[in-house]
Amino acid sequence: MTPASKESPTPERPTVGRRTVLGAAASVASAPALLGPARTAHAAPPHRTPGALPGGGDLGPNVLVFDPATPGIQAKLDEVFKQQEKAQFDTGRYALLFKPGTYHGLNAQLGFYTSIAGLGLSPDDTTINGDVTVDAGWFNGNATQNFWRSAENLALVPVSGTNRWAVAQAAPFRRMHVRGGLNLAPAGDGWASGGYLADSRIDGTVEPRSQQQWYARDSAVGGWSNGVWNMVFSGVQGAPGQTFPNPPYTVLDTTPFSREKPFLHLDGAGYRVFLPELRTDARGVTWGNGTPRGTSLPLSQFYVAKPGVSAGTLNQALAQGLHLLLTPGVYHLDQPVEVTAPNTVVLGLGYATLIPDNGVTAVRTADVDGIRLAGFLIDAGPVNSATLLEIGPAGATADHSGNPTTVQDVFLRIGGAGPGKATTSIVVNSRHTIIDHTWVWRADHGDGVGWDTNRADYGIRVNGDDVLATGLFVEHFNKYDVQWYGQRGRTVFLQNEKAYDAPDQAAVQDGDVRGYAAYKVADSVTSHEAWGLGSYCYYNVDPSIVQHHGFAAPNVPGVKFHDLLVVSLGGKGQFERVINDTGAPTSGSSTVPSTVVAYP
């Protein structure tokens, strides 16, 4: 998404001029852990055969590693920020890694495609007496395009007592300990539209201020001060009470299932990748009573990929039994990356970006246990791909309830950095898959943008049963943004905008229904449940377009929705209903949500 004015401060970027409207509207515990020996069903062979690829190795030039004695840390942070501050569609990618210890007097400002992380097993192993800041000076105080940056596994002692994290989509705040407050809006309370927080402890108050929507999972907060449109919590200690729609708080006491994202850490002088364990009915942080529960793999079991490596080499590494660590940069793929072995890890650093060439699929997985995909961006190529990411083959039926595939901080983009096309971005066939924070975006600004130029009909299609999504951000698709065909699916939080650039009513006509629903549950589904879903329309090419509803589902007892909202941004298009034929219509240009608390 990009809620608020799409006007760019750089003249070479085309504008859509809608974030202004949206921004104006915004103003009106886990047991003590055991770190056991590395256990995996997918280990590197003990002896390399001739021609085999090596495991381990250096992390490349765009991974910057600091320790407390490193000279000139602030100058280096400033240098990276200066390069990346406005680089919304450029190719720079950086990971800033801090060894365990205490750092003083730092302000790490994060620009595009920049990740900052500690290298301890707990956030408290790496303390910065200072700030990790995201603000919006580059965009005249508008934070609604502060995409593609992340903070992870650090403790912060903010200089002012409050850290500023004014972000939009694809900007996770994971495994962080803020010994103070957290402000989610830019300086001056300009517009913001994020966001995602998980496995974090905020000792003070989280202040959304102008932040329009937010999802917080399995964390602890000292307080939460307000909400604009849609604030959703699951498993958050200290969360406010359930009050949707006023204030717009949707609160689940626990998260049905969660497994935190894999992360790089140091063990002495060597790197390892920690794999947190699966939790059921999760609540609070995983690291509160010592090291987290899970397993740790040495870097020697990973093929450390560098930009320029071929898809064939990545597949050779996987076939050898190696995991993949994608170092920062851009990778072109002439064939799919095939993840076939159980418990395989594919972990990206610094927003490593995969571009499928000539219409191939970027990544495909087998129907096996325990695959973990995390921390990378898939950017569609100019030749249409039928799919960009496939989780399991068509017809997958295996039970993965004890060890599911997880997809975390994997972001997909069609257009923006140049023309891109994909019929369906993500297809989920494997049962019990957990999709934990994704932004699937058909670009509405940048280069290569137009109704047919970056054609992308469908965002996510879920065919598998028992799939759980925690933190879906899916926007601007030509037809359906989310389609759900599997049984017993669950979604906690959706942020959606319909495509701005529909040329007329006929272009979005779904048979007899006006407009494609943002989130459609198939008529064959008998069991489904979702909480905290929001859809917005801003039909700026033809403001007369009518969207019948944001959400569509069979009206049966086993299909349940909680806390839904639709919004017309400045009157550019209208919704007639919220879900099916239920809910009041939007009207005029007041940008006031229409809500449904429970359906049916």
Rounded Cα gap, residues 523 and 398, in angstroms: 24
Contact 310, 287 (CB under 8 A): no
- For 108, 131, 161, 165, 285, the CA distances from 178, given in Å and listed in that order, are 14, 9, 9, 11, 13
Contact 486, 462 (CB under 8 A): yes
SS3 299: helix
Tokens of 583: 């809910």
Catalytic annotation, pick one of 207, 260, 390, 497 = 497
> Is-cis flag, bond preceding 557, omega within 30?
no
**Which helix (H) or strand (E) segment is 563 a member of?**
strand 559-568
Nearest to 355 by CA among 332, 382, 383, 335: 332
Contact 444, 7 (CB under 8 A): no
Contact 405, 371 (CB under 8 A): yes
Angle CA(4)–CA(8)–CA(10) in degrees, nearest 5?
170
The three state secondary structure string of 178-244 is ECCEEECCCCCCCCECCCEEECCEEEEEEECCCECEEEEECCEEEEECCCCCEEEEECCECCCCCCC
**Which helix (H) or strand (E) segment is 312 a member of?**
helix 311-320
Question: In 299-344, which ranges are E strands?
Answer: 302-305, 323-326, 330-333, 337-339
Rounded Cα gap, residues 454 and 456, in angstroms: 6
Whose structure tokens read 């994704």?
438
Question: Longest C-alpha distance within the chain, in Å?
Answer: 70
- 12 is known as an active-site residue: no
Which DSSP string corresponds to 51-106? Answer: TPPPPB----TTEEEE-TT-TTHHHHHHHHHHHHTT-TTS---EEEEE-SEEEEEE
Rounded Cα gap, residues 48 and 591, in angstroms: 62
Active site amino acids = 497
